[in-house]
């Protein structure tokens, strides 16, 4: 029964990471993005990330999920804003390639999957309690 708990806990961690990555993308929605031209790129440009999930069963660990991040490609898009202080000579400003709508969906999915994993742990706890009641 430990594999059920381990699997649910790994799901909690994965969804927590997913929510953190999405929140970071939303917080930097209006930040300066990474300029596609390396000569014009500034080191403070924000590169948005996406959460990538992989099965721990494939790694021989026994079950669950692991979360890692991968860059969103392309990292930014150019917007014509000639009055912006970071505009290039053509008046273009790189903005992060983040869709607020997509990030809201990511956050709702992370919330619901987090809740499902919490419920799994609660049901396992109830089952173990019932088993102990029967044994005693």
pLDDT band for position 135 (50/70/90)?
confident
- In this prediction, residue 7 has a pLDDT band, given cuts at 50, 70 and 90, of confident
**What pLDDT, on a 0 to 100 scale, did the predictor assign at position 1?**
52
18 or 58, higher pLDDT: 18
Q: What's the chain's average pLDDT? A: 89
How far from chain centre, in Å, is Cα 102? 11
pLDDT digit string, tens, across residues 50-66: 999 998 876 555 678 99
Q: Look up residue 102 and give its two tokens.
A: 């997509």
Q: Global pTM?
A: 0.84
Beta-strand runs (E) in the chain:
49-55, 65-71, 76-80, 92-96
What mean pLDDT do residues 67-95 have? Answer: 92
Mean of pLDDT values over 71-97: 91
Residue 109 to residues 14, 17, 83, 132, Cα–Cα distance (Å): 12, 12, 38, 35
The answer for residues whose C-beta is within 8 angstroms of residue 65's C-beta and 6 or more apart is 7, 10, 11, 14, 53, 54, 55, 56
The shares of helix, strand and coil residues in the chain, as percent rounded to the nearest 5, are 45, 20, 35
């Amino acid at each position: 029964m430990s594999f059920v708990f381990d699997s649910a806990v790994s799901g909690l961690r994965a969804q927590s990471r997913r929510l953190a990555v999405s929140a970071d993308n939303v917080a930097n929605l209006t930040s300066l993005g990474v300029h596609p031209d390396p000569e014009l790129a500034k080191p403070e440009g924000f590169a948005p990330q996406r959460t990538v999930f992989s099965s721990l069963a494939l790694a021989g660990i026994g079950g669950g999920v692991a979360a890692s991040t991968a860059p969103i490609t392309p990292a930014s898009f150019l917007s014509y804003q000639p009055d912006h202080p970071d505009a290039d000579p053509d008046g273009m400003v790189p903005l992060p390639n983040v869709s607020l709508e997509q990030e809201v969906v990511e956050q709702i999915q992370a919330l619901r999957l987090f809740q499902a994993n919490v419920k799994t742990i609660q049901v396992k706890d109830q089952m173990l309690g019932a088993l102990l009641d029967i044994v005693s």
